[in-house]
Copies of this chain bind each other. A is one copy, B any other.
């Protein structure tokens, strides 16, 4: 398939007339063809108008039609074959195996949402039948379901060119909820985005859906993004990226005449706690696990372990020593973009000013490679210096040495919101862990025992979210089936005749949903 450099406004391939973005192969530092001219305000408005026109029809498609659509997108992505893999590898510097795995995750995610759509629990159907005889006043018949919020703007992420980009988690959950989607592709992988965008557009056509259900835009600066978020027809935003970018979009969304929700997944350093007994029993193994998790994918995960917390003593010394022995043999890895590589270097530079270097990985041997770094500091220094908890996106981490459990608690209370917090513990650590748990529940969306935070399962129970600045809305997850709830709102129907009720609420319960009927959940 020849890449065209064109946007997709509904089914129409359209060329922008603003400054072009162009992928750079980060492994070779060479720009790639074609150029992707950015969209202008009119083109953004056109995509939003199509999305708006498609909304009422799309949100009322049957559960089966919508689920089939999601499955068709997955099939169309798979049909792109190796071309997609090659392009994504070239645009991101990520290894083949990783991109292949990510394609599997992306298609699996779409099929998981298809299952969720069919199950229909997201409709949250509640029925309180009329009580005409009730005193002092009769009760009317009241029925609630959830409906889609409206067209959703999705911003592709740099670090998941498939799983959190054009047809990634935000798009899949918004489409599942019944929301048309307008994607702004991430500038780092426009070719990958075009391929996937065309796959989605083909699925729209194959399923006979209105074309406005999906559009794909490019843009080099903030123009397209701000135009999208401030378009009155856009009713919610999904974003994965930097804290500054997420905060800017949230502020733009709040400044609208009609403010809208923004789900921005932004910044997290993912504290890892090494409890005493675990550290004493297997400090070396923990160091091995840590270094592997830290350096995986050049450390370019939202859940990268950027902070390690332990109590001083020989066991923690051994962990640090083992880390300092392992890290020097870790190869520098190509980062996603020249911008990310240089931001990583700056972040490492800043940490170097404020903390002591424990160890470094092998130096870069090619362009845009990130050299792993581990630093160490004392708890009091950490508490005194807010810079030390700024996310450094890449394979950099800071070990915070605490004098005792009380300092561990102080450091924990001092942390900003996180996506994850990890506890390494043995039986004897349970009392200490239990004491710390309330703090961690307040701070993070996912808590792990004896694992590593990298690796985010797409399932019903996943929470990929957390208090600010991990996300802009701690009430939600961006990974897993509960992500659909971000794009829904409840509507109540009072005393409606069956002929006017949506199928989900009709008296005969034709969708066979387990409703909350008069306060009782149906079997």
Report which A residues bind B (CB closer than 8 A): 56, 60, 101, 115, 119, 121, 124, 126-128, 136-137, 139-140, 142-144, 147, 149-150, 250-251, 254, 258-259, 261, 416-417, 430, 433-434, 437-438, 441-442, 444-451, 455, 457, 459-463, 465, 467-469, 472-477, 482, 488-497, 499-500, 514, 516, 519, 521, 523
Contact = CB atoms under 8 A, between A and B. Distances in A.
Nearest to A496: B449
B490 A463 contact: yes
A467 B257 CA distance: 12
Number of copies: 2
Given A56-B438, A430-B499, A450-B495, 13 more contacts: A56-B442, A128-B462, A142-B462, A144-B461, A149-B474, A250-B259, A258-B467, A430-B500, A445-B492, A449-B495, A449-B496, A477-B492, A482-B490
Contacts of A149: 474-475
B475 A261 contact: yes
A143 B460 contact: no
Contacts of A101: 136
A251 B251 CA distance: 10
A144 B464 CA distance: 11
Contacts of A121: 516, 521
B462 A519 contact: no
Contacts of A500: 430, 433-434, 437, 449
A447 B492 contact: yes
Given A128-B460, A259-B250, A468-B259, A445 B491 contact: yes
Contacts of A472: 259
Contacts of A491: 441, 444-447, 463
Contacts of A475: 149, 261, 488-490
A129 to B, nearest CB: 9
Given A101-B136, A140-B451, A474 B489 contact: yes
Contacts of A115: 519
Contacts of A128: 457, 459-462
Contacts of A433: 500
A126 B496 CA distance: 33
Nearest to A142: B461
B461 A150 contact: no
Contacts of A493: 446-447, 449
Contacts of A465: 489-490
Nearest to A422: B494
A128 B493 CA distance: 34
Nearest to A453: B494
Nearest to A519: B460
Contacts of A143: 461
Contact of A448 (B150, B437, B467, B494): B494
Given A467-B258, A475-B261, A477-B490, A144 B495 contact: no
